[in-house]
Structure 1
Amino acid sequence: MNDIRTPVGGRSAWLGSTLDYRRDGLWQLSTAELGEIDAALTTLKRGGDLDLPEITPENFALPTVGRFLTRLRDELWSGRGFVLIRGLSRERYSDDDLARIYCGLGVHLGDIIPQSGNGELLGHVLNVADLVDEPVRGYRSAQAQNMHSDGHDVVSLLCLREAKSGGASRIASAAAIHDRMIETNPELARVLYGGMPVMRSRLDAERGDGKIVTPRNVALFTKTDGVFSSCVHVAQTRDAARAGYFDITPEQEAALDLFCELSSSPEFYLDMDIAPGDIQFLNNRLIVHGRTAYQDHEDVNRRRHLMRLWVHVPSWPRRPTDQQDIYSMDDLPLWARFRTPFMEMPQRYMAKMTARQ
């Protein structure tokens, strides 16, 4: 039973204006930990040219760092919901080796899962809007991105290259926004507990369960046994209304507007400068994230480039029922059919982008 009158509180409901991520959310890898990661990569490569799904906790062994990643699961679940790992040398490793290390760390956190109907396990956050003929999603442009959630349990980014200017990662605590809403406007908070339909991309729907719009309302806020969970897709909800899949009410519009207003307030958000080699982990149930606009280089090989993982954490409870439709576990094996071996390796991916330019 949802009790919207009860604030989340605690460490999860932080205000960006009161935090310094370098003090409150940064893990600096030690020399010993970096040596362990390097040894794991060396051992992995002795096994031949393994594809990303073949990387496991057994063939990418991390006795010490693996224990840290276990603790990281707890911090993501019941702590502030975000961590930035710093220390990987951008100069020491090729892009492909960083992808291997990244997935090697990811499999110690949980299961790396497909991110779209293309089946990719490793996404590339890169401005290619001028290199492709079809419209691109926001993460494949240089535009600002409004605050939202990503798929499943954890979303992670590893920075390969920074932008010419701008492009900060912006995050906020959905729990803190929830608490402010129930304090100042509980009726609009109640609207977000009721949820709204969400429109998915046509490719994801066609290659998945076939549902372009969620069959039930997706709750932006919910609580199960007192545990808070958020699932925020304002743009896709408004897409569903514009496409005629449901009639959005003035109260629903006002509730979405208030969430956007609070999440875009400097009181709530925290901007993180993710430097080359940095890795960010976010709990999608506690954190909403976006990005500031940025200026990039003309040469695609010098552009801002981050790699992305989606991680399912089996030890966490399933998402509440009223948030499951948009990220159905049933989609994952269907999407995976469209993946081809080594398709996400950065050097291969960038060769394709260079040829298009």
Structure 2
Amino acid sequence: MKAPEFKPRAWLAADVERDSSWIIRMTPDEVAGFDDALQHAVGLNKPLLAMTAEDFPLPDASRRVLARAIESTQGRWGMCLLKGFPVDQWTEAETRLAYWGMGLYMGVGRTQNRASEIINDVRDTGASYKVKGGRGYNTNAGLDFHQDSCDVVALLCRRTARSGGTSKVISSIALRDEVERLRPDLIPVLQQPWFHTYQNTQDPTQPPFYRCPILGDDPTYFTVRTNRKNIDAAQRDFEDVPRLTRAQNEVLDLFDQLMPSDKLCYSMELEQGDLQLLNNYVTLHSRTPFEDFEDPDQKRHLLRLWLSVPTSQPLPPQWEEYYGDVRPGAVRGGVRGSAITQEFLDYEERQAKALGMRWRKWRPLVTREAATAAP
């Protein structure tokens, strides 16, 4: 994949309303390529982690549309909505297989939870959100604005809810600009070390919390990482984490005021067959609560991939503790969990090589034994 021609820029909700260049509607030929590749992969019956791109043989047109989608996430908007996957014609197992096959062309999949899963099912399982270790993807709750732990998060919509579940996205560059306009004194506060909980998704060798500034300090490559739920949980759960200062609480309160505003926040209804891709360094996203159908076969269901992508930007050195590697185009991010397998490690190295990405064997930069709460 070539590097994007335009770096991400700040956008407001009205800008996204006026310009739909971030939306790609696939042609029948492009869609047919995915269907044909799926039928080939079904016949092979290989485990997901054993697959290569050759096992999901996409024609050029279908490959190019995926490349355009990833390019859009690294360019002007920091996001893409790719429409038209025939999930209504695929079983759940076929959808999962096709989705993994697509990912083999886009990046290196990352593990996403305590169970070290490579594809997460985003659906309500009756879990709770704002509790210790709570995650939003398996609830029907409205979510705080946040970003996921990877270069690009991809959500494939298999079924929609009866009502609600609206996706909300903001430009974190525009958010920074608003803070700078209203409270320029808080910008340095955003660049301080902030403590976040891992929500029990860390490798057993890692401490249960990590340090990462909310705002990166690189003048060329913009980065933001924030999730108030995880910051507040670190305060609640760990006595050795420094208490938030008055200024830190003020900036979090200002974020809460600005992020859902009509000026910054763009709402989109994901339809069946939509694939939403977001650059986690320049966008933040959330979701409204939803009401589901009673029939289990009709309940809201999205599939989530976390991807490292070949055209990713460099990250600030202070982010290495969490992401593991800050070099551009490197395999990084995800959460290790407690069930990493040799099959995953083999896939990770093989897929990185296939895409020409930088890769090195993972190791914790901060261990549980060595962890201190000093900034």
- Class of the TM-score when normalised by the shorter of the 2 chains: 0.7 to 0.9
- Superimposed CA distance per residue, residues 148-203 of structure 1 (whole angstroms, 9 cap, x where no aligned partner): 0111111111111111101111111001101111122111122112241111112x
Corresponding residue number in structure 2 for 1:266 = 262
CA distance, structure 2, for counterparts of residue 50 and residue 21 of structure 1: 44
Contact 1:117 1:338 in 2 (8 A): no
Q: Which of 232, 235, 245 is equivalent to 1:238?
A: 232
- Superimposed CA distance per residue, residues 224-257 of structure 1 (whole angstroms, 9 cap, x where no aligned partner): 3511011112211111122332211110000111
Shift of 1:34: 1.0
Aligned-residue RMSD, C-alpha:
2.5
TM-score normalised per structure 1 = 0.84
Distance 1:193 1:277, change over 3 A: same
Is 1:289–2:289 an aligned residue pair?
A: no
Q: SS of the counterpart of 1:114?
A: coil
Distance 1:78 1:195, change over 3 A: farther
Q: SS of the counterpart of 1:45?
A: helix
CA distance, structure 2, for counterparts of residue 280 and residue 336 of structure 1: 28
**Structure 1: tracts of 5 or more residues without a match:** 1-8, 342-357
Q: Which of 97, 102, 107 is equivalent to 2:104?
A: 107
Shift of 1:10: 7.5
- Percent sequence identity is 26
Relative contact order (C-alpha < 8 Å, sep 6+): which is higher? 1
CA distance, structure 1, for counterparts of residue 334 and residue 171 of structure 2: 28
Aligned counterparts, 1:1-357, within 5 A: 12-20=9-17, 23-47=20-44, 49-62=45-58, 63-129=60-126, 136-202=134-200, 204-205=201-202, 207-214=203-210, 216=211, 218-224=212-218, 226-243=220-237, 244=239, 245-328=241-324, 329=332, 335-337=338-340
Q: SS of the counterpart of 1:324?
A: helix
CA distance, structure 2, for counterparts of residue 255 and residue 339 of structure 1: 42
Contact 2:179 2:187 in 1 (8 A): yes
Contact 1:118 1:339 in 2 (8 A): no
Corresponding residue number in structure 2 for 1:354 = none
Shift of 1:71: 3.0
Distance 1:184 1:310, change over 3 A: same
TM-score normalised per structure 2 = 0.80
Contact 2:140 2:290 in 1 (8 A): yes
Shift of 1:220: 1.2
Distance 1:335 1:83, change over 3 A: farther
Shift of 1:286: 0.8
- Superimposed CA distance per residue, residues 16-41 of structure 1 (whole angstroms, 9 cap, x where no aligned partner): 13323882321111011011111211
Contact 1:114 1:335 in 2 (8 A): no
Shift of 1:111: 0.5
Shift of 1:325: 2.5
User: Which letter maps to 1:246?
Assistant: P
Number of residue pairs aligned between Structure 1 and Structure 2: 326
CA distance, structure 2, for counterparts of residue 135 and residue 302 of structure 1: 28
Corresponding residue number in structure 2 for 1:348 = none
User: Which letter maps to 2:50?
Assistant: E
Distance 1:223 1:80, change over 3 A: farther
Corresponding residue number in structure 1 for 2:359 = none
CA distance, structure 1, for counterparts of residue 294 and residue 342 of structure 2: 29
**Structure 2: tracts of 5 or more residues without a match:** 1-5, 325-331, 345-375
